[in-house]
Every structure is written in C-alpha cells, then in structure tokens.
Amino acid sequence: MRVHFTEFGKVRFISHRDAARAFERAFRIEQLPLAFTLGFSPRPKVSFGLALSVGHESDAEYLDFELAEEIPLEPLAAALSAALPEGIDVPAVVALADRAPALQEAVSAVEWNIELTVDDEVTGTPMITPEIVEHRVEALMAAPTLVLERVRKGRTASEDIRPAFRRMTVLGPTEGGILVGVELATRPMSVRPAELVAALGSEFREGRVRRTRQWIERGSERLDPLAADPRIALEARAS
Amino acid sequence: MTSLWPRIEPLLAGVEKPARYIGMERGSQVPVHRPGSVSWLLVYPDTYEIGLPNQGLQILYEILNERDDAVAERSYAPWLDLAAALREHAVPLFSVDTHRAASDFDIVAFNLSAELVYTNLLECLDLAGIPIRSEQRSETDPLVVAGGHSTFNPEPMADFVDAFVIGDGEEPVGEMTECVRTWQGGGRPGGRVGLLRALASVPGVYVPSMYSVEFDGPVLRSVTPRYSDVPAVVDKRTVADLADWPYPKQQLVPLIEVVHDRLNVELFRGCTRGCRFCQAGMITRPVRERPTEQVRNMVANGLRRTGYDEVALTSLSSADFSGIDNLVSDLVNDQIGCGNVGVSLPSLRVDAFTVGIASEIQKVRRTGLTFAPEGGSWRLRQVINKLITEEDLYSAVEGAYSQGWRRVKLYFLVGLPTEMDEDTLGIAELARNVVKVGKQYTKQASCTVSVGGFVPKAHTPFQWFGQNGTEELHRKINMLRDDLRKTAATVRWHDPKATFAEGIASRGDRRIGAVIERVWRAGGTFQEWSEHFQLGRWLDAMAAEGLDPDWFVTRHRTEDEVLPWDHIAAGLHRDFLWQDWQASLQAHGLPDCRWTPCYDCGVCTDYALEHVVASSVPPAGGSQGTGQDLTLGGAVPVMLSPTRVPT
Ligand code: SF4
C-alpha cells in the first residue's frame, strides 16, 4: 500500500522520526493487519520516503506498508487521518504492485515553495522585492557551477550543487517575504532548502517552506508516486 | 489577547526540539475559559520530555477539566534556548494547550517531585512575569501552588509558594477550586490574604504565610499558626480507594519521544515494605491496590486509544500486587485482546519469583533487568530494612542469566547510616559473584553497578541522620571503582556534589529559600542536568546568607530537635519513626504490615484508613527470600522490635 499524506501547521515542528512513530501508532489504533518482518524482533513492514525536516510543511509525503491480509481500501484514508495527529492528513491510499521499487530509491525530483525573508537586524530595513529575488534567481540559474563546502558523513568535501537545480521561479510576495518555486533533483545529491536560500543571497532567511510535489521519473515519464506502480494497472498489463 | 501562538511561532524556528512547545498530544484538551470557572495551569518544572509522562499531573488535568467550574492546561519548563528567546522578545511563559499566558490563569500549580528542580520553579514564575516571592504578589497575580513528594518538607520553598498540597491531590484540587470560586464570586473578601486564609482551612493545604517561624541562633524553635483558625499541623490527604479514581482515562500521547513513552497504569499506591531510606514508601502509606478488573480495563482501553504497544504497570514495588503473575501472563499472552504488547514492571524485587515474571515478559520484548539490593552487606540491609539475602540475589541473577540475559544492573546507595568500608566493599564482592554466576551461562556475562549517594529525607526514620559529605562519598565510590577495576562489572555513579546540594534543600528550613533564590539568580536552572550543575553556586549562596552547609547536610539531628517539617504530618508518629531509627542502628528488621499484624506507625489509625489489598497472603517470594513466614502467627526469623529499643 502507498499512503499519500500532508503535514501542515503546528505539527510541522515534529521530526521525520516522530511522524513515523505517529503512523505506527495510527496503524495500531486502526488495528490494521500489518505484515511483519521475520526474525528475532519482528518489525512491521513500513517504509518511509524522503525525510521532511523539522519546521517544513508538505503537500506531498509518502510511505509504503504491507498488509498481512486484504482489507477494504476505501475507508482507510479517512480512518488514518482520524488516528493521526491534527495537521497530518491522508488524502489517499493506493494498492501497490508487488515488488514496486522503494520510495527512497524511486523518487528522483521534488518541488518546493520556499519563502525568502530578510532578517531586519542584519540589513536595518527589510529590503526584499520580487525584482531583487528575480535577479538573483536568474544569476543562479545562469551560473554553470555552484561549488559548496559540504559535510558528508563527517567529512568536508567540495561539491557542485548546480546540477540539482532544475527550475526556479518567483511566485510573488507573501506577508513576510517572497515566495520562490523550485524543482530540485534528488540525485546524485540532494540539496536542502536552506542551502538554496543561502545560495540566493547571504541576507536571505528561510521563511515558511513547503514541499509541493515528489516525482518518480522513468525514462521520459514523470509520475506521481501514487500513480507510479499501481497494482491494478500491472495486473491488467499482465493479463 | 488569549493565544500567544503568533508570537511564539517565529521563535520556534531557532530552538532545539520545537515540538516540545506545540501541545496537540492525543488526549490533550482545548478548554474554553468561561467567566466563573477557575483556571489552573499545571506546570512540571523540567523539560517536556521528563514532565509530560508525569501521571500525577495528567490525573489532575483530567479531573479538573471534568469539573463544570474549572479548566486546566499544562506547561513545562522551557529549555535554555527558548527561555532566552522568550526574554529577548518579551513573550511570557505559556500553556502548551492553547498558548495562553501563564499570568492569565487563576492558579499556577507546580509538581515538585525532586529538590533539584526548585530553581526551575523560580525560573518559570519569572518567565511568566509573576513576582517570585509570595509577599510581592498582588491581588491580580495568580495563586502559586505546589504539590508532589518534595512538599512533605515545604519549608525551603515557603517564600515562593502561596499554598502547598500535601499528599494525594485528587480531592483537594476540587476543594481549592471551590474555595477560589467562592472568593472570586463574593467580591474577593479580604483581598489576597483573605483567599490565603480561607485556603489554609482546606484539609491538606499548607499556607506558609499563615505561620510564624522562630529561630534561636541557628536552631529552629517553632513554626506556629498566626491565627486560631489555621491548623497547627497540616495532615496529608489520602485517597482511600483507588477504584474510585480510574485516571488517567485519556493518557496523553506525545508527538515527540519522552521518558516512559508507553501506556502507564497504576497498580497501587503506597508501600509498606518499610525500607527506611525510602521517603516515597513512608509518605504514601497505607497500600491501596486497584481492583484487577479495573487494571485490565484500563490497559485494554488505554492500548486501543493510544496505539501504544507497551504498557508499564506502575507502583513502588509492582511484584507485590495481588495476582501480578496472572495479570502479566494474561497481558503477554494476549488474553485482553490487544495483540502483542510489551509489559514493563518498574521496581522489581530481588527474587526468583520476579525473574519468572520478567522472563514471561521478555517473550515479547527483551528489556534490561535491574535489581536494587541498595546495601552491600546483610548487616547493612538490615539497617535499612531491605531484607534481601545474598542467596536471594544470586538465585535471582542465576535465573536471569540462565534465561538469556547477559547483563544485569544492580543499584546501591552509599553513605547509609552505620556504613563501614567493609559494607562498601561488599558491593564489589556481590558484583564479582554476580558476574561469576553469569559466566556459568554466558561468556559475555557482565553487570552494571549503579551507585547513588544517600540523601536523608523528611518523614523517614533516617530524617535524623547526618548525610555523608562529598569527600566521604567520593572516597567510597573510588574505593569501589578500584576494587572492581578489570572486572566485567562497570561502575556508574551519581555526582556526590549534586547529592550534597540535594541535601541542602531536602532537610532545609525556611532560610534555604534565600539560598535557592541566589542560586537561581546566578543562573542555576536545570540543576538535575549535570552539565548545568555547579555546587559552587550553592556554596556561594549559603555563604552569602551566612549559613553553614554542614549544619544542614552532614549534622546528625537529636531526638528533641524541632524539625522544619514537624508541622506537616504524613501520619507517621514521630515516636514510631524515632523507634524505627533506633531499631535500625541495632540492625533490627521490621516486617511488612500488609500481611502481618499492624505495628501502629500511625497512618491507618489516625486517618481511619486501611490497606486495600486483594490477597491476604503475600505473593510468592514475598518475603524477599528471607525465609520469613509472613502468614499470621508465622515464624519470623527476622528480629523485630515492636517495642522501644533501649538506647
Ligand atoms: S498503621 Fe499499621 S497497618 Fe497501617 S501502615 Fe502503619 S503499621 Fe501498617
């Protein structure tokens, strides 16, 4: 099964691990017959997609789980929403084909709406306009490379993060800043919204951040994770 | 303005674990504050992770919100990063439920379960914009209340707390609500003092400003009521039957990981094992068991509601619950219909019976096994009345290692009365033997020896004992470490400096309030967190107040001395405690009055209470293996001292 869920409001301050635990409890509250791993300490077969950082909201989070027996799918989304903390909702649950690729490997691009704000204490007067941001975005997208010192597995290395930037557009002003829409590749390396904000200008701060899409790309196809490996389609193709 | 959320939200981006401050737990409430309802803010003065699971606070939260005339919300001490941000942006302490300012509540009530959180109470009040000293508060400031075990010696906090609740809080919170409501509805007769005076008449409520305290040099002379309608002695409150209080009904499920992150169901309150160092056991007598059927229902409903897959059956000694073995095996074997649940039993006794239960439990989940012999020799264990023989311990650990455990944890106290170096080295001897027993079953057998410094507590037979100083505790701990070097036993110990500070607050009198205030002003919050603790702050504060730390900590008290908590009664007769103290010095044990005749410690007789115990026979292993026949009239090899021991 693949669950699509959203995370908004106060609950955005919990960590990815906390969200995972909330789902495990929701599964038990709804008494779903989860399949378990074999072995000395059996674990429910649940796997989460890309992590969502503390403080970020999302329209597009996913997780996969396996059931030990068939149950009606229809009431599942509403039931899970009710059992989850306020602010986490489940718009849809779909049945996955057997051996569908794991989310972590399958997802190759994500879209974000990132709010840029300016720390008034730094500049004295908050000077941020769509035009200023437009310029920075153009400059960034025009640059052939963008090399950063990044810490990976405890070691600092220089990396070019420019290839990860696919598209960037200024969406307009918000109450406290300017909203930018971005599409980022997640391979070979993923870029954090904070790094992108810093790349646009050292005076910018990260305001509200919201993941809006995740994509699974196969050849020239670009698929929503819910539509990527549906059980029905595969069965239909086989027959 | 009611919700501070728009001002709090921007600050959360810059703090560690922001979800500590958002509330929204399953089971949490969004109370509507109505005119005429008395609003309580229940504060646990430590981090959210430590405070959230506190059952006492959760119970009162539900009981108050069920009332028509009260609402209750919760708050926890903000961590240093948020505290700084709140001050910088002039945002006050807030509730996590509706993010309302603490000073908007009628009552701000603290749970005090340990002395080292005292400075955090001051910090919370200051963040709330409430004057920290009672005498500085005006009629519009909230009433500041405190409850919890530490309030059995309320004097160190008497300058800051308007009213203490002594004992079980379930009933007095309702009576206090009525008292405040009547005062508010009646046009606040007598102002703030009028309210305090009225509260002083609520049974179990101690209002320190209604008493005058006299000293003669360093010696406390008396604590006496200022008015004739104020009781000379405040008696603790006791819930007679736990069956009437099936709370919490909706245990809170936190969004982030906290300590004891599981369903908790209280099996019983009170313990009459009679360990002489144990304040919790002494002040919560008699034993009141919850009916097994109610326990089963609370477990089944709780698991279904929360989605937890683990339940802790809590009490001061859970293996003493009547029918504990059946209960555990039913839970583990899913006889209550909640699937595979892990069961944990905090505070297991040291005997083979409890290992049997533990091995039943580990069918589902392997957990650590901790035994607490507390003293290193049989003689010392008789002194403290923890009647565990070496054979008990060895057969218990043999049971554990033979059933697959590789590591057991042993807990000991050092600095106990009459303790000699041979007792301390006895700890090492026990640890070595425990490892030896384990090696018969697994090459990897090891054990952890945890050592805490003993702090004498009010209302125990050891309340007269002079605590060991820091050097003496260090010496003993080092001796133990040396003796266990290069063995499979690991020694862990609690910082003797923190033990010393705890000693200042534990048996302090009203003069210690100024010391606590100085420690807080010097930046000493979160004192139970070793990285934030400095004994220097406490010693400087004592010096500045002209007080001798040793007079408070290491000095033995005499029988005729007025103790700072003599006007607070836990029901235990002073004579009984003194006699038990003398018996302890002679290494005389005392049996458990739950299954043997009453020796009249005072609690049941004075308060017209009795034990509520389903089984009149002790559970298997209930003698802690001393061979003591605990049936009525049975042979009792342990020497008893029901009459006064000649001194
Ligand atoms: S009064 Fe008697 S039965 Fe009650 S706790 Fe004291 S000794 Fe035990």
The number of beta carbons lying within 10 Å of the beta carbon of residue B570 is 23
CATH superfamily of domain region B5-235: Cobalamin-binding domain (3.40.50.280)
For ligand 1, is residue B538 a contact (CB within 6 Å)?
Answer: no
Domain hosting A28: range is: 2-95
Q: Which residues are CB-contacts of A221 (< 8 A; sequence separation ≥ 6)?
A: none
Which of ligand 1's atoms lies nearest the C-alpha of B599? 7
Query: Which of A45, A60, A95 lies at the terminal end of a domain, its last residue?
Result: A95
Residues A111 and A214 occupy one common structural domain: yes
Q: What pTM value is reported for the model? A: 0.94
Q: Which of A10, A15, A55 sits opposite B24 (nearest CB)?
A: A10
Give the residue, out of B238, B320, B580, B603, with the most ligand 1 atoms within 8 A of its beta carbon, to mutate for a pocket test: B603
Residue A59 belongs to a domain: yes
Which of these, B255, B81, B24, B10, lies nearest to A208 by C-alpha position? Answer: B10
B204, B184 in Cβ contact below 8 A?
A: no
Residue B253 and residue A86: Cβ atoms within 8 Å? no
Does residue B352 belong to the interface with chain A, where contact is any CB pair within 8 Å? no
Chain B residues close to A14, C-beta within 8 Å: 19, 22, 255-256
Contact B197, B230 (CB under 8 A): yes
B271 lines ligand 1 (CB under 6 A): no
Statement to judge: residues A122 and A76 lie in one domain: no
Q: Which of B18, B24, B309 sits opposite A85 (nearest CB)?
A: B24
Residue whose C-alpha is closest to residue A2's, from A28, A23, A31:
A23
Distance B556 CA to ligand 1 centre (A): 27
- Same domain? For A123 and A158 the reply is yes
Nearest CA to ligand 1 atom 6: B601
pLDDT at B168 over 90: yes
pLDDT digits (tens, 9 = 90+) for B456-485: 999 999 999 999 999 999 999 999 999 999
ipTM exceeding cut-off 0.95 for this assembly: no
Strands B369-374 and B407-414: parallel
For chain B, the maximum distance between any two Cα atoms, rounded to a whole number of angstroms, is 76
Taking the CB of residue A72, how many other CB atoms lie within 10 A of it?
Answer: 6
pLDDT at B630: 42
Asked if the structure places residue A223 within a domain, the reply is no
* Domain CATH code at residue A40: 3.30.70.580
Contact B449, B493 (CB under 8 A): no
pLDDT in tens, B246-279: 999 999 999 999 999 999 999 999 999 999 999 9
For residues B316 and B372, what is the distance between their CA atoms, to the nearest angstrom? 12
Cβ neighbours of residue B101 closer than 8 Å, sequence gap 6 or more: B4, B92, B93, B94, B128, B129
Give the nearest chain B residue to A86 (CA atoms).
B24
Q: Is B285 in the pocket of ligand 1 (CB under 6 A)?
A: yes
**Whether residue B40 has its Cβ less than 6 Å from ligand 1:** no
User: Chain A: which residues have CB within 8 Å of chain B?
Assistant: 10-11, 13-15, 17-18, 21-22, 24-29, 31, 41, 54-55, 83, 85-87, 206
CB contact under 8 A, A87 and B339: no
Round to whole Å and give the CA distance between B454 and B387: 18
- Please check whether residue A134 lies inside any domain of the structure: yes
Q: Are A21 and B257 within 8 A, CB to CB?
A: yes
pLDDT in tens, B99-119: 999 999 999 999 999 999 999
> Which chain A residues are Cβ-neighbours of B18 within 8 angstroms?
13, 54-55
pLDDT of residue B625: 41
d(CA B546, CA B156): 16
* pLDDT, position A239: 44
Task: Please say whether the dihedral angle defined by the alpha carbons of residues B91, B94, B99 and B100, taken in this order, is positive or negative.
Answer: negative
Examine residue A7 and state whether it is found in any structural domain, yes or no.
yes
Chain B closest-CA separation from residue A232 CA (Å): 31
Instruction: Give distance in angstroms: CA of B385 to centre of ligand 1.
Output: 16
Contact B19/A55, CB-based, under 8 Å? no
Q: Identify the CA nearest to B312 among candidates B621, B114, B55, B622.
A: B55
Nearest to B108 by CA among B43, B58, B165: B43
Distance B455 CA to ligand 1 centre (A): 25
Last residue of a domain, one of A95, A120, A152: A95
HEC readout, B331-385? HHCCCCCCCCCEEECCCCCCCHHHHHHHHHHCCCCCCCEEEEEECCCHHHHHHCC
pLDDT of residue B646: 35
- Cβ of residue B253 closer than 8 Å to a chain A Cβ: yes
Of the residues A66, A95, A124, the one at which a domain ends: A95
- Residue B127: partners with Cβ closer than 8 Å, 6 or more residues away: B78, B83, B86, B87, B92, B93, B102
Is residue A40 exposed (0-12), middle (13-18) or buried (19+ Cβ within 10 Å)?
Answer: exposed
pLDDT tens string for chain A (239 positions)? 999 999 999 999 999 999 999 999 999 999 999 999 988 778 889 999 999 999 999 999 999 999 999 999 889 999 999 999 999 999 999 999 988 999 989 999 999 999 999 876 554 455 788 899 999 999 999 999 999 888 877 888 888 999 999 999 999 999 889 999 999 999 888 899 999 999 999 889 999 999 999 999 998 999 999 999 888 754 444 44
pLDDT of res. B367: 67
Q: Is B605 in the pocket of ligand 1 (CB under 6 A)?
A: yes
Distance CA B310, CA B316 (A): 19
Rg of chain B over all Cα atoms, to the nearest angstrom: 24
* Chain A residue at shortest CA distance from B10: A207
CA-nearest residue for atom 5, ligand 1, is B286
Whether B392 has a pLDDT exceeding 90, the answer reads no
Q: Give A2's contacts (C-beta < 8 A, 6+ positions apart).
A: A62, A63, A64, A93, A94, A96, A100, A103, A225, A226, A229
Count structural domains, chain A: 2
